[in-house]
Structures are given as C-alpha cells and as structure tokens.
Amino acid sequence: MKLKNEYLNLLAQRESGVVLGKKWFNLWLLTAVLTAIFLSIAFSNGSMIYLSEKMNDPFTNWVNITNAWGSDHFDKFRADISKPEVQKHYNFSDVQNDNYFSYNLFGKNNKIHYLQFRFFERLNCNLVHAVLSEDNVVNGCAIPDSLLQNETLGFIITLDVLHKLGYDEKNIPAYIDFLENSIGADTFGVKMIDEEHAPIPVPLLAVVRRLPMNMDVIAAKFFYEQETNLITYPLSMNNEQYQRELFYYIDDSIADFEKQVAALVPDSLKYNFDVQEDDQPQLRSWKKGKLISVYLGDASTPLSVYQSLNAAILTKFPGDKIIRLYKYATEHKDVSDCNFVSVNFQSLDSIRAFERYAKDNFNVQIEMSQINSKENFNAVSVMANILSLAIIVFAIICIIMFIVNMLQSYFQKVKRNLGTFKAFGMGTNELIHVYVLILLAIIVSAIIIALAITWLLQIILPLFGVLKDGQFNYLSLWSVKTLICIVIVIVSTVLTVRIVMKRLLKQTPGDLIYDRN
C-alpha cells in the first residue's frame, strides 16, 4: 500500500508538469479563456445593472397621458387608475395629475425669458427624485430630499435656463425672479419691469441637466394654485402688508447681522426693534442660509420707515448675500383640471396592455411613440439576458472541449506509462483520481489568476475613461453569476476528466503498453 502511494505521488508530480505543457502553456491558455469568460460576465453584469437602473429610472418608466379634450371619459379614466387594484394589475403607481403652462422669468441680465413650466401634483415622487439624482444635478445644486415638499414655491430649472438668466455653474443663486402681474404695486415703491409686472423672488430648488418632456422648469402644483388664484392674488406685489414685513434670506457668511442692522435703526424706533429667525418651509432654497424677520415699530409706523430701513440694509450688504423675500399669503385652491396624467410603471411588461385598457375602456389614447420606445427598452433587457447566458454557456463548452482534446492528445503520449502503472496494480479509479487532482489544481489556479486580472481591469480601465459612463462602471465582476460560473467550470472539469479518462483507461495494461486498439 505504501509502495502504491509512492507510485501515485510520483505520477502526480511528473504528470502534472506534462499536463501543464511546455512553459505552462496549458495553464496560460486556460487562464486566457477564463479571463475572457469573467470579462464577459463582468461586462454583462455591469450592462445589466446599468440597463436595470435605466429601466427603473422614472425618466424611462414614466408615461405621460395628455388630456387632449378634457372630456368626461378622461375624468373617469383618472378616477379608475387611482384604484389600487387597477394599479396592481398593470404594475404601476405614483399617479399624478399635472399641469402645464408658460410663464416669464426675469434674469440677472435684465432680460425676460418666456419658458415652459410643468407643475407636479406632488414633488415628493419617484420622477422628481430621479430628476434630482446626483448625475443629473449641476454642481450639487439641489435641495436635500428631506426638505423637498409639495407646498414649496420653488423651481427646478435646467442648466440652459440658468445660462439664459445670466448665471453660470459657479454662480448659482439661491432665489430667482418670477414675473407676476402686480398692477399698482409701484404705489408701494415696488420696482416694476413694465406697467403690469413686478419680479418676485422664488426659491431655486435645483439646477439639473435635463427635465422630462424637455421642460424648462418644474415646480409644485401648489405654486400653480397661487398663480391662478384670482380672488386673493397671493403672489401679487400690490400688497402694502408685504412691504411692511422686512423678511430676508441671509447667507451663512454674514456675521452679526442683528448688530449691524441695529446700527441702521433710528433711536426712536429701537424699543420695538427685533431680529428673529423665521422658518418659512415653502421659501427654502437649495443654498444654505437663514430666513430672518426684522421687526420694526407697529401698525402706526409709516410705510416709508420700512422702505428706508430696507434700502439701508440692501445698501450695506450688496450682492446676493442678502435677498429680500416676502411672506406670500398662500392658500390651497382646488385646481381640478389637469393637462397630463402621469403614471410611473414598476415594470415595462404591462405597457401595451395598459395602452389597450385606456383606449378600449375610456377612449383615452396614449402616444404610441412612448409605448414603442418603452417596449423596445424592455426587449433589449431580455436580449441582453439571453446574450449574457449564451456567452457563459459557449465559454464553458470551449473549456470542456479544450480539456477533452488536451487529455486525448496527452494520453497518446503517456498511455504506455499508464499501462505500466496498471500492470503494477494501480486501479483505473486511482489513476483517474490523480488526473482529476492535477486538472483541478490547474483550473483553480487559472480561475484565481483570471479573477485577479479581471478585477484589476475593472479598477484600472475606468481611470482612463474606458468602459465608463459618467459615474457608472460597465464592469461588475463580483456577483452570484460569477460564483455560479466558477462552480460550473469546476464541476464540468471534474466530470469531463473522469468521463474521458475512464473511457481511455478501460483498455488492459497490455493493450496500453503495446498500443493495441
């Protein structure tokens, strides 16, 4: 038994070198094949992750249904898709009733810009969160998600609009001016742009590279409610009370604001003077700073005193470090009509069925280009999965064929030696076991080297801008798919060696030694 073990050890030591080939050619060839497999898997994983993110991106999954006629059919459609059972059946959620209109913004360059606005029923939704994703936001200019609310008066604008307003990426303001109809506001000292309109400051919530449907600005429907409120006109500057409220945005770089303002207040009014931080959530901007109210006098204090102190404050703090704001008397107004119904699909599989449901039941038609583009996107996902699987299967077949050919070629060279070993009492299973261990050691070594090479490429290539899209890396090696592939390669190797060697070693020792077929 001891002698037999020595023979087996000697066989393993000598034959492993032969199996490796000259200058370990077989090892490096297997390593190259496995590296190609792992690179394919890494690219497939990265592509699928990228595709999955795009397919789950509300920019892709969001379907806009236009209210072309404002008919009863459309109202019934809106009511029906609000039902949980309908949403579950067609796999969508986040239904919104949105409005569209065009308004004017007034730029730092003293130009008026007529822009397209989209008013979302809720800003705290999947689409807006996608709009405010890191790769879409310009220079980090975005209000934190925790501060984003549906009752904000702020705007999200595109980079193109920022440039039109006379700003650049390094000079993004906290507030921008909306032109509001304010006839008669000049009697309260308000600076008018023309006979009817005055600029009113509104918070800038974010600057982004792109917006859905090529909009210029998106805002909450709450702002649209105030703009269309023709009873109280909450945004109009023709309001004396607004001019009696000294309310400011103060940049964090301003120190001792209260002390500096106190020096500007006449002695006769200092007994009523006070400065307090005043939280107005609907006026929060993307830019850090404080909202401060300056209290001065009482109802009997002339308006001119407030105007004089405001002018003194803005003169003492020029630029955009301090901005005068207004506590707009906002209120909710029922805006039952809408220009769009927006639906966010969890999966693209039900797009076509939903299109038929809308048309057959409510005579509501969805633009077919939306449906076709989303179906095409879904088809690409399925094809990518199939292609990924095909690449792995083909590569494993190549490895199996390589091992089979290598063993058959090798066997022709050493079958006399193997016949001699069998003549000395070595069993077929023992010889097979030796070759399984040899090939297993080679394949595991090749797997480790191939994984290391692929991992290094995954790290190094993106540094040179290769296989990278923005912050996204198209290579993603470490996954369950990689582990499954490794297991399949190892199991396939073991089974292939056992089957091939068992077939080759079924001959008698004499047949092997004398090369008798």
- Cα distances from 432 to residues 26, 442, 496, 502, in angstroms, run 19, 15, 11, 7
Domain ranges of the chain: 2-55+374-513, 99-232, 240-328
Question: Which tokens belong to 355?
Answer: 């299109």
Question: Which tokens belong to 42?
Answer: 């890494």
Q: Are 239 and 247 in contact (CB under 8 A)?
A: no
DSSP tag of 500 = H
Phi/psi at 250 (5° precision): -120, 120
Residue 497 confidence class, pLDDT cut points 50, 70, 90: confident
Longest dimension (CA), the chain: 124
User: Which CATH architecture is the domain 240-328 placed in?
Assistant: 2-Layer Sandwich (3.30)
Indicate if the pLDDT at residue 474 is higher than 80: no
Indicate if the pLDDT at residue 411 is higher than 70: no
CA distance linking residue 506 with residue 517, whole number of Å: 11
Among residues 409, 399, 429, 390, the alpha carbon closest in space to that of 492 is found at 399
Beta strand ranges found along 40-111 (DSSP E): 62-66, 92-106
**pTM here?**
0.66
Across 127-152, b (16+ Cβ under 10 Å) vs e yields: bbebbbeeebbbeebbbeeeebbeeb
Q: Cα 77 to chain center, whole Å?
A: 31
Indicate if the pLDDT at residue 263 is higher than 60: yes
Residue 467 confidence class, pLDDT cut points 50, 70, 90: low
pLDDT tens-digit profile of 37-76?
888 788 777 777 776 666 556 567 778 888 876 667 888 8
Question: Higher model confidence: residue 509 or residue 179?
Answer: 179
pLDDT tens-digit profile of 155-199?
999 999 999 999 999 889 999 999 999 999 998 889 999 889 999
Among residues 312, 317, 305, 307, the alpha carbon closest in space to that of 256 is found at 317
Residue 207, classified by CB atoms within 10 Å of its CB into exposed (0-12), middle (13-18) or buried (19+), is: buried
Tell me what percent of the chain is helix, strand and coil, each rounded to the nearest 5.
Answer: 55, 20, 30
Phi/psi at 36 (5° precision): -60, -40
Which uninterrupted H or E stretch holds 206? Answer: strand 197-208
DSSP string, 117-153: EEEES-SSSHHHHHHTSTTTEEEEEE--GGG--TT--
Share of the chain above pLDDT 70, in %: 83
Name residue 179's amino acid: L
Beta strand ranges found along 441-514 (DSSP E): 468-469, 472-473
CA distance linking residue 385 with residue 388, whole number of Å: 5
Q: Are 107 and 161 in contact (CB under 8 A)?
A: no
Give the model's pLDDT for residue 225: 93
CB 429: neighbour CB atoms within 10 A? 12
Question: Higher model confidence: residue 192 or residue 459?
Answer: 192
Average pLDDT of the residues in 461-486: 70
CB 490: neighbour CB atoms within 10 A? 14
β-strands 472-473, 468-469 pairing: antiparallel
Indicate if the pLDDT at residue 3 is higher than 60: no
